[in-house]
Amino acid sequence: MSLTTPFPEPDSPELERFAIYSRSDIAGLLRQLRDRQVLVTLYYDQAAGFTVSNVLDVNEGFEELILDRTSDAAAQKAIYASKQLVVVAFLDNVKVQFSLGTAEAVEHQGRAAFRVRLPQQLLRMQRRGSYRRQPPAVRPATCLVPSPGKKGQYESIRVLDLSVGGLALFVHPVQFDLPADHTLENCYLDLPDVGQITVTLRVRYIDDYQASNDGVRRCGCEFVDLSESAARMLQRYMNKLDAAARSSGPAPDEAAA
């Protein structure tokens, strides 16, 4: 799998963790492609040929997408004959891919265009662990972590931020005072509106939190051998955070993990 090339990714169970199914979320990402005038690569004839296009309009009510039509007559003919089209684009350096059905010729605001139905699924292929999101304070994500030295007891700890590669916890030394590289098994990460996943955490660092003088610390952990089902649930939760951020204002900044 290549997340940096404009070639379409073949169907694979591995891609499921990147899948977005919400119609409103899909339409929102397509509108970003339109508003930013992002060039997209349109593959046809089972990806044997391609042309460059861009999104002209997104009509969620009629479930249709309007794409700029190539002037190449041979490419047009092949596109009309294709039962499936694949679009690849890059939005904020993140690879986006979706499949479309058959296209028909239309005019859009005086321009030659293709009309297709909105995709049922969209892949937003963010590299694993490459960006973090902060759960809202009103409904925070929490993690049940085995209490050091207290067999069978757990501490509920607030999650400061998380990615599909790991998370940061908001801890007090009395709760959690472990050295770097310590591994914590059977932790339970609660993701509001998505569910609970079982994870293994490896402590990477413990720092003072925002110059706090009450001993509060930020504990950065990475996931160890995260299962595919857990990764899909985590990605779904992060997609929900992205959707909430888009509806309330500008998209949150991407940050390196």
- Residue 187 and residue 110 in one domain: no
Tokens representing 91?
A: 């939005």
Average pLDDT over residues 219-226: 87
pLDDT digits (tens, 9 = 90+) for 159-189: 998 888 889 888 876 556 667 778 899 999 9
Model pTM? Answer: 0.55
- Residue 174 and residue 75 in one domain: no
For residue 110, what are the domain limits? 13-125
pLDDT of residue 255: 39
Alpha-carbon distance 78 to 125, whole Å? 28
Burial (CB < 10 A; 0-12, 13-18, 19+), residue 250, is exposed
Query: Going along the chain, which residue ranges are E strands?
Result: 19-20, 39-44, 49-59, 64-68, 85-91, 94-100, 104-108, 111-117, 122-125, 142-146, 154-162, 166-171, 183-191, 195-208, 217-223
CA dihedral of residues 66, 67, 73, 77 (deg, nearest 10): -60
Alpha-carbon distance 2 to 224, whole Å? 23
pLDDT of residue 115: 97
- Does residue 178 lie in a domain region? yes
Domain count within the chain: 2
User: How does the average pLDDT of the chain come out, rounded?
Assistant: 85
Range of lowest pLDDT (3-12, 72-81, 134-143): 3-12
Proportion of the chain above pLDDT 90, given as a percent: 43
pLDDT digits (tens, 9 = 90+) for 233-242: 998 898 888 8
